[in-house]
Structure 1
Amino acid sequence: MTQTVALTEGPRGDGRDEIRFGTSGSTGGARHWFRLPHQMEREVELIGSHLVGPVDHVINYAPPRHLFGALFGQWLPRLADVRVHQAWADPFAPLSVSPGERVLIVCLPMAWDLLRRGWSALERAGSVVALHGSAAPPPTARALVRRAAPLLRAHEIFGSTETGGIAHRPLAPDGSGADLWQAFPDVSFTRDVDAPAGAAEELVVHGPRLARPEAAPRPPARWATGDLVEFTAPRAFRYVGRSSSVIKVNGIKVHLAAVEERLNSCLPQVKCVVLPLTDDALAGEGYAVFWSGGDSGVDVADIRGALRDFPSPSRIVALADIPRTSAGKPDRKSLLTGLKTPPALSSP
């Protein structure tokens, strides 16, 4: 989900109480989006009944100023009348779980390593369900799901501030068989009837949970997300990437999401982020791979080897860690700004 900041608005002239969220992307200024309480309630009830089930205790690592944290760290505990631990406020505080409790964990990427360290406190729970939003789950997430099953089960949520939750899939231990996203029941899509089978299409969403843009009197009838997907069934799709992340390197089309997926698959012990470069001196367009391997033993040759079927990256940059925004997403601005002054660990 995009980075959001939530503020409670007073009633508008028509008497509707709205909640304001601000999106801040990698370019342009912040934009505001408005949600009604019944939309928040609908999303909590839909995802709660569809994926989570009964809950006694919520552990929330997503700040409530973000839509994901507001939905499942504020609205769900209030509607279900259950206790909530706002772990985002003090992530390193020890967890306290009563025996037999049904626990929901609201996760951003940084939460998974904290859960791994504190898992012994959760072993007394009756069940643990994790919802993962924002960026792709880190390797630690899959490792913990593999280790802690069947007590722990986890789901990824695909969505945005503008649309709310669009689709979901299980967070599988090895990533296999979990690449297809299944739409939530109240979501529908506009399809390109002329698109050839298997071709990537822009994801255009309809549904009752679309947010109202600041300059509009009501939510739009549909929303073009800017995501490219390959539909495998009327309500199932495979994510290809952002429309803005499809580049051509020496005339060869490259989906950067596929590059990142290959790296994550071949080198699961390494954190990788792939970003486009529009001013490559040789190829016109290119891409950079930022990676953090810790003590994994992985080197630049391994990165290049994993990408042997793709046009070579323009830059491969090793970092001590991947900088992230408060929403848990890779900090694109910080990464790209760093390229202006080549870091000591970068390679051509």
Structure 2
Amino acid sequence: MTRPATRAEGRRAASDEVPFDTSGSTGAARRWFRLPRQMEREVELIGTHLVGPVDQVITYAPPQHLFGALFGHWLPRMAAVPVHRAWTDPLAPLSVPSGARVLIVCVPMAWNLLHRGWSALEGARSVVALHSAAAPPPAAHRLVRRAGPLLRAWELLGSTETGGIAHRPVAPEGSGAAPWQALPDVTLMRDRGAPMGHTQELVVRSPRLARPEGGTRPPARWATGDLVEFTGDRSFRLVGRSSSLIKVNGVKVHLTRVEEQLRARLPHADCVALPLTGDPLAGEGYVVFWSGRRSGVDEADIRAALRDFPGPSRLVGLAAVPRTAGGKPDRAALLATLPPCSPSPT
């Protein structure tokens, strides 16, 4: 998640730079600066390769985040098209002119709203949705199946530090996820001597890397912390993050894969897997937070969906999974819901 840095805070950025702060959720909080030409290049790159011509933008992503700033502010300004800032009043009905080519800038909460308000978009000539900040929720995959081919939807992988790295289509409900494809100006720093299926950290080079506060220029390369398996020279599958790789009774478990399997097998549930240290039996384990009772999902379904993995240490059912303003699972809020462990029997 990112938020804008106020120019009164700390050392002033150069007048032509755009400042953003990382939230600290994936490392220490830090300020990063992007040049206007980097912002424009990313808009042009993704606009050309994924979006196409646009007559109207509807954005659910606040502009204090890089994703929201790029496609909810810079793109409509560069394309000289109107923008509906849905993030200010997400429940307000949509108004789309007949025959319009519409871009929707999505965070997870937007997809249920689009389901309910889809009739307002049915008269559009085309609808393209961009999704970033977190994995698409089950509602995204359901809407892609329901509304195609009018709706095309894309996931973007990136960060404040790197900008966009790669993309893939949001899969229709019931379909498997495609590999990520690197954007044309991104170089993937592969270990070419590694055997097929080898897991390695995703390291990238790009002209759109941001400049860190205190630095005179952007870094030459950036280690993302994502663990990947390459499927081609410019494609890969995400395995997890270096911080989400755990061992349960000596068996490696990538929590990103746990979440992917839950999404695939229980599309009506919202699930998040987090590491859990100090498991009394396995030593290191994980907890699955989940929401989906209204759809008929229960704990037995969760455990059955994870039969290919060492079982979770704990399951925590919630009315809804708490998320940050950028749509990512709120780790602190989730961990705060953990009930205390029951004492071991004596």
Counterpart of 1:54, as a letter, is P
Q: Secondary structure, in 3 states, of the residue corresponding to 2:40?
A: helix
Corresponding residue number in structure 2 for 1:34:
33
Change in Cα spacing, 1:255 to 1:27, as seen in structure 2 (3 Å) is closer
CA contact (8 A) 2:7 2:13 kept: no
Structure-2 separation of matches of 1:58 and 1:95: 11
Structure-2 separation of matches of 1:60 and 1:228: 30
CA contact (8 A) 2:176 2:264 kept: no
Structure-2 separation of matches of 1:205 and 1:299: 41
Moved more, 292-301 or 111-120: 292-301
Change in Cα spacing, 1:13 to 1:288, as seen in structure 2 (3 Å) is closer
Is the counterpart of residue 220 in structure 1 residue 219 in structure 2?
yes
Corresponding residue pairs, total: 340
Corresponding residue number in structure 2 for 1:257:
256
Change in Cα spacing, 1:28 to 1:68, as seen in structure 2 (3 Å) is closer
CA contact (8 A) 2:42 2:164 kept: yes
Counterpart of 1:25, as a letter, is G
Structure-2 separation of matches of 1:27 and 1:5: 14
Q: TM-score, normalised by structure 1?
A: 0.94
Is the counterpart of residue 166 in structure 1 residue 165 in structure 2?
yes
Correspondences of 1:283-298 after superposition (within 5 Å): 283-298=282-297
CA contact (8 A) 1:9 1:19 kept: no
Counterpart of 1:5, as a letter, is R
Structure-2 separation of matches of 1:300 and 1:91: 32
Moved more, 19-28 or 85-94: 19-28
Correspondences of 1:90-105 after superposition (within 5 Å): 90-105=89-104
Deviations 1:244-292 (A, max 9, x none): 1010011111111111111111111111000001222221110000000
Structure-1 separation of matches of 2:236 and 2:226: 11
Is the counterpart of residue 47 in structure 1 residue 43 in structure 2?
no
Structure-1 separation of matches of 2:253 and 2:172: 27
Structure-1 separation of matches of 2:324 and 2:44: 28
Is the counterpart of residue 120 in structure 1 residue 122 in structure 2?
no
Change in Cα spacing, 1:126 to 1:291, as seen in structure 2 (3 Å) is same
Corresponding residue number in structure 2 for 1:6:
4
Correspondences of 1:104-115 after superposition (within 5 Å): 104-115=103-114
Correspondences of 1:227-306 after superposition (within 5 Å): 227-306=226-305
Corresponding residue number in structure 2 for 1:149:
148
Q: Percent identity?
A: 70
Change in Cα spacing, 1:282 to 1:33, as seen in structure 2 (3 Å) is same
CA contact (8 A) 1:8 1:18 kept: no
Corresponding residue number in structure 2 for 1:346:
none
CA contact (8 A) 1:16 1:36 kept: no
Q: Secondary structure, in 3 states, of the residue corresponding to 2:303?
A: helix
Change in Cα spacing, 1:339 to 1:14, as seen in structure 2 (3 Å) is closer
Structure-2 separation of matches of 1:76 and 1:8: 22
Structure-1 separation of matches of 2:27 and 2:186: 28
Deviations 1:37-81 (A, max 9, x none): 000000000000010000000000000000000000000000000
Structure-1 separation of matches of 2:17 and 2:323: 29
CA contact (8 A) 1:9 1:17 kept: no
Q: TM-score, normalised by structure 2?
A: 0.94
Structure-1 separation of matches of 2:221 and 2:26: 23
Deviations 1:268-322 (A, max 9, x none): 1111000001222221110000000131221111111111121111101101110
Q: Aligned-pair distance for 1:14? A: 9.6
CA contact (8 A) 1:8 1:19 kept: no
Structure-2 separation of matches of 1:93 and 1:281: 49
CA contact (8 A) 2:13 2:33 kept: no
CA contact (8 A) 2:33 2:212 kept: yes
Change in Cα spacing, 1:196 to 1:44, as seen in structure 2 (3 Å) is same
Change in Cα spacing, 1:99 to 1:123, as seen in structure 2 (3 Å) is same
Change in Cα spacing, 1:309 to 1:167, as seen in structure 2 (3 Å) is same
Counterpart of 1:335, as a letter, is L
Structure-2 separation of matches of 1:318 and 1:67: 32
Counterpart of 1:171, as a letter, is V
Unaligned runs of 5+ residues in structure 1 are 344-348
CA contact (8 A) 2:144 2:151 kept: yes
Corresponding residue number in structure 1 for 2:203:
204
